[in-house]
Structure 1
Amino acid sequence: MNEQVCRLQEELHRAHYVVEEGLATVLHLAQRLARPLLLEGPAGVGKTALAKAVATVRSVDLVRLQCYEGLDASQALYDWDYPKQLLTARTAFADGVVNQAALYSEPFLIERPLLRALREKPAPVLLIDEVDRADEEFEALLLEFLSEFQITIPEMGTFRAEKPPIVMLTSNRTRDLSDALRRRCLYVWVDYPSPEQEAAIISLHVPRIASELAKQIARGVRRLRKLSLLKPPGLAESIDFAQALHELGAQELDEEVVRLTLGCLLKTEEDLNFVRERGLDVLWNA
């Protein structure tokens, strides 16, 4: 294994993130080549958590742009503080001195995530989260930003990053992203971890949990994910479940403790009823 990739794995582990060699290699290359990294995979596999861990490892801020339908430039790039402008304009008019240009200057500028990521020093980690939820029109805006790492504000000029941020995009694949956006990124598919990896992740976050119980939880959650659930449990749910069992002093999975804590894993009434009807022992019986 490449020494730098190995070091990155160790640093992420210290930041409470377990990453396998393939993902660590792509992440290392994305940073070395200054390319955005597109992380695609089901919800709950730790894509967002990886960006947080990278920010921790690099000792920089995490700037997060949460995408949603209808997201536009004023919410992603920058906006103006209109109430403050209006108040200033009224005061200036009362004094008989109105400077229109001054109203579109630094004191009135509201940085949105993309502009903040360009201006902040040291260069932060920019997380563009759930980019598949944004409209195709926003993708076009994003393409320009990722190509030049600059933003032009007509009233103030062009802002260019001295050093580009570390850009990570996540997608749950609710819709197909454009080929143009994919071409600008390095790509990795992030899936649920193996039971062995998940047990290691659980032990990292719940260090006092019994090793055998962590393995039992990882195997049980894996079985749940194979069922036809509306919201399969992700890694966060596995960790919550493990913490709950540890707090209750459980040493193994049994019907009573699972019945009491199943809401840590499943988050809809339909899924709860489905698993109860099927039998709670699905978590510990193959």
Structure 2
Amino acid sequence: MAVDDALDMKSPAEVATALDNTGYLPDEGIATAAFLAMRMRRPLLCEGEPGTGKTALAQALAAALGVDLIRLQCHEGIDAAQALYDWDFPRQLLHLRTLEAASGGELDADAAESSLYTPRFLLARPLLRALQESPCVLLVDEIDRADDEFEAFLLEVLSEYAVTIPEFGVVRAQQPPIVILTSNRTREVHDALKRRCLYHWLEHPGLEREVAILRRRLPGLDARLAEQVAAAVQRMRQMELLKPPGVAEALDWAQALQALDQDELDTETAATTLGAVLKYREDAERVRAAGIVAP
């Protein structure tokens, strides 16, 4: 499916079908948000607890559209150079030495300088790649981990879908990429960026949908075991844990049980495999003490 076809989709139901065909099981809210983001050509900011499918949504959209997924992983201290572009200094230096040798030492400084700032030496980082290679899906992952200055820079790029490189010129996307931003809400994203985006909050799936996700992602998983794992994970999320498990952890747990040739989640096996679903000792102890295991 091409991006233009996706933009012509008549309803969120069509988007849901396209996502479902990739193995991603959307609910009505997710399908509607994705439909509007594509139809209105607006970035979509997805917030929610870790493991609710925010990153997977971007991956599924790229697969459904048959385009590249370009991912910008945010972190503390990320700056414009890491996100946008850099110049390949070693190759530029080698190029200068080659020109100097070819000219017999009589190098034209202006011509040499202009030859350094060409696409040949431009290292495109994720944001610039997305502008150059669109149609594509641009995933700006965990924007809440970046600082205020980077948010302001990103807002400027997403407002115009263009950047100016002083030595090179303006790079503008021929058509805006489909942009998905994710946030685990470790801090609040600024209102200015939120106003530029459509917004959707992703909840953990309900029991029935989580069972469906487990069986879709792990086709050989026994139906009874899928229900037991999903039910146990659902109960864990109701506890006061340091890090409640997401869908990714539920999948890891079910896969670990498959590897042990288990077709039922009994108390002993649940206790010995908690490391697949819980990542803190305190959480594992609390769950063991509560005796959480599917009936």
TM-score of the superposed pair, with normalisation by structure 1: 0.94
CA offset at residue 25 of structure 1?
Answer: 0.7
Number of aligned positions between the proteins: 281
Bigger CA drift: 222-231 or 106-115?
Answer: 222-231
1:257 aligns with 2:264: no
1:108 aligns with 2:121: yes
CA offset at residue 255 of structure 1?
Answer: 1.4
1:18 aligns with 2:42: no
Q: How does 1:4-83 map to 2 (within 5 A)?
A: 4-83=11-90
1:167 aligns with 2:195: no
Q: Tell me how far apart the structure 1 counterparts of residues 271 and 186 of structure 2 sit (CA, whole Å).
A: 32
Give identity over the alignment, percent: 53
Q: Tell me how far apart the structure 1 counterparts of residues 169 and 10 of structure 2 sit (CA, whole Å).
A: 43
Bigger CA drift: 133-142 or 242-251?
Answer: 242-251
CA offset at residue 262 of structure 1?
Answer: 1.3
Q: Is the 8 A contact 1:125 1:167 kept in 2?
A: yes
Q: How does 1:114-153 map to 2 (within 5 A)?
A: 114-121=127-134, 123-153=135-165
Q: Secondary structure at the match of 2:152?
A: helix
2:3 aligns with none
What's the CA shift string for 1:35-90, capped at 9, x where partnerless?
00000011111100110010000000000000011111110111101111122223
Bigger CA drift: 249-258 or 162-171?
Answer: 249-258
Q: Is the 8 A contact 1:30 1:37 kept in 2?
A: yes
Q: Secondary structure at the match of 1:283?
A: coil
What RMSD in Å do the two structures reach over aligned CA positions?
Answer: 1.5
Q: Tell me how far apart the structure 1 counterparts of residues 255 and 223 of structure 2 sit (CA, whole Å).
A: 13
Q: Secondary structure at the match of 1:116?
A: helix
CA offset at residue 269 of structure 1?
Answer: 2.5
Q: Tell me how far apart the structure 2 counterparts of residues 3 and 211 of structure 1 sit (CA, whole Å).
A: 35
Q: Is the 8 A contact 1:221 1:283 kept in 2?
A: no
Give the alignment partner of residue 192 of structure 2, picking from 166, 180, 192: 180
Q: Tell me how far apart the structure 2 counterparts of residues 107 and 159 of structure 1 sit (CA, whole Å).
A: 15
Q: Tell me how far apart the structure 2 counterparts of residues 59 and 4 of structure 1 sit (CA, whole Å).
A: 19
Q: How does 1:234-245 map to 2 (within 5 A)?
A: 234-245=246-257
Q: Is the 8 A contact 1:225 1:233 kept in 2?
A: yes
Q: Tell me how far apart the structure 1 counterparts of residues 16 and 220 of structure 2 sit (CA, whole Å).
A: 22
1:220 aligns with 232
TM-score of the superposed pair, with normalisation by structure 2: 0.91
Structure 1: any 5+ residue segments left out of the alignment?
A: none
